[in-house]
């Protein structure tokens, strides 16, 4: 059986240096997507927790409250684990793609110095992941407060259950804990942590587009040719992309 020439061209394209480079860049975006998804799942669980407070089922049923609390702790662990994984994933990705002399490398280092390396909250989030993995689950408590006619509900870690004096906590994580009251509001914690991580990865994604703009344009051009040939040969299912992918990539380049 004779295979269409376009099929051979597709296989060569999938092995090309430029295509593999862009796939590597895509991989770090998937790592952030997982982190983002864990954040969204946790926020949804916290929202349900607060809604159950409004209709009083959180307080009327211990079973409901405990189930919600267990689910939030599970999702908090997922969030912290994704945050911990994102650190080496991003560092290894950067080291694999760029030299220290590259401007993008230096810019990334400066952003890490500014927002993460000395950030006590960052070290606490990573430390909390390790604590839950290797020590135990923290004690949690749901609290409802009233300010006049306005009631608010929060899900909290009990600080005293975190064994703050343990050597397992890094100094920066202990610094964060030293500023906390005995109840640590989880929603405030994850919101405050998520924002700078999102900002860093949005910047990194945009900066990589700038840095590799010529390669992106070349790969898009090659994709268009392959799409045309594969359509003529009726083998578009063999393509590792589709027309919508090309259009989305073109739109991103137009924003630069």
**Token reading at 31:** 């790592």
What is the DSSP secondary-structure string of 196-226? HHHHHHHHHHHHHHHHTHHHHHHHHHHHHHH
Residue 119, Cβ density class (10 Å: 0-12 exposed, 13-18 middle, ≥19 buried): middle
| Domain membership of residue 87 as a residue range | 5-254
Query: Whole-model pTM?
Result: 0.91
pLDDT at 165: 84
Instruction: Tell me if residue 165 falls in helix, strand or coil.
Output: coil
Low-confidence ranges of the chain (pLDDT < 50): none
How many whole angstroms separate alpha carbon 194 and alpha carbon 156? 17
pLDDT at 251: 93
User: Which pLDDT score, from 0 to 100, does residue 144 have?
Assistant: 94
- CB of 76 closer than 8 Å to CB of 190: yes
Could you tell me the CA-to-CA distances from 147 to 109, 115, 121, 150, 152 in Å, in that order?
44, 35, 28, 5, 8
In this prediction, residue 256 carries a pLDDT of 79
Tell me, what's the pLDDT at 191? 98
pLDDT of the residue at 2: 60
Q: What is the pLDDT of residue 146?
A: 84
For the chain, what is the domain count? 1
pLDDT (tens digit per residue) in 1-55: 567 888 999 999 999 999 999 999 999 999 999 999 999 999 999 999 999 999 9
DSSP type of residue 138 = P
């Amino acid at each position: 059986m004779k295979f269409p020439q376009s099929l051979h061209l597709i296989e060569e394209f999938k092995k090309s240096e430029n295509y593999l480079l862009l796939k590597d860049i895509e991989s770090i975006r998937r790592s952030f997507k997982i982190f983002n998804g864990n954040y969204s799942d946790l926020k949804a669980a916290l929202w349900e927790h607060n809604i159950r407070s409004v209709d009083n089922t959180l307080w009327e049923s211990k079973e409901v409250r405990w189930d919600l609390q267990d689910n939030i702790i599970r999702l908090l662990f997922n969030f912290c684990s994704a945050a911990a994984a994102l650190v080496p994933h991003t560092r290894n990705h950067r080291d694999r793609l760029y030299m220290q002399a590259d401007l993008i490398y230096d810019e990334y280092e400066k952003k890490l110095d500014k927002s993460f390396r000395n950030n006590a909250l960052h070290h606490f989030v990573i430390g909390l992941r390790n604590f839950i993995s290797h020590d135990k689950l923290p004690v949690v408590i749901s609290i409802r407060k009233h300010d006049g006619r306005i009631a608010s509900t929060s899900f909290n870690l009990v600080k005293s259950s975190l064994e703050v004096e343990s050597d397992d906590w890094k100094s920066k994580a202990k610094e964060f804990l030293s500023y906390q009251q005995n109840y640590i509001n989880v929603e405030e914690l994850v919101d405050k942590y998520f924002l700078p991580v999102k900002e860093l990865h949005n910047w990194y994604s945009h900066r990589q587009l700038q840095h590799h703009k010529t390669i992106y344009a070349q790969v898009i051009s090659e994709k268009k040719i392959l799409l045309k040939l594969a359509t003529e040969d009726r083998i578009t299912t063999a393509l590792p992309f589709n027309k919508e992918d090309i259009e989305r990539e073109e739109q991103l380049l137009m924003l630069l």
